Amino acid sequence: MTVDEAVKGEVLAESELGGRRMIATDDTNSRSCVVVIELPPGVITLQVGWTPNPSESIKDAASAVEACEYATGYAEGLAPAFPDRLG
């Protein structure tokens, strides 16, 4: 699967992470941001949900943009542990 095949929803950002293509998308059907990172021969995806009415006691993402900020941050933190290839 390629990054383009894995992308569902509106693309909010496209960048590179450690020389790999990364796309952040808004999946409005599931109220989540999905970050797709190229890792041949496939992809790694990270998904962070959001809620339009976040709880005051729990720090929830209140929008797709905020969820994508979290998901992108997680991807950046995990990137050093990514293998050179999947499989």
Assess if residue 64 is contained within a domain.
Answer: yes
The proportion of the chain whose per-residue pLDDT surpasses 70, expressed as a percent, equals: 93
Contact 66, 52 (CB under 8 A): no
SS3 of residue 72 by DSSP = helix
Q: What is the pLDDT of residues 38-79, one digit of tens each?
A: 999 999 999 999 887 766 656 678 888 999 999 999 999 999
Q: What is the DSSP letter of 40?
A: T
Assess if residue 30 is contained within a domain.
Answer: yes
Which pLDDT band, with edges at 50, 70 and 90, does 35 fall under?
very high
Domain containing 67: what range? 3-80
Residues 3-17: what's their mean pLDDT? 92
For residue 14, the model assigns a pLDDT of 96
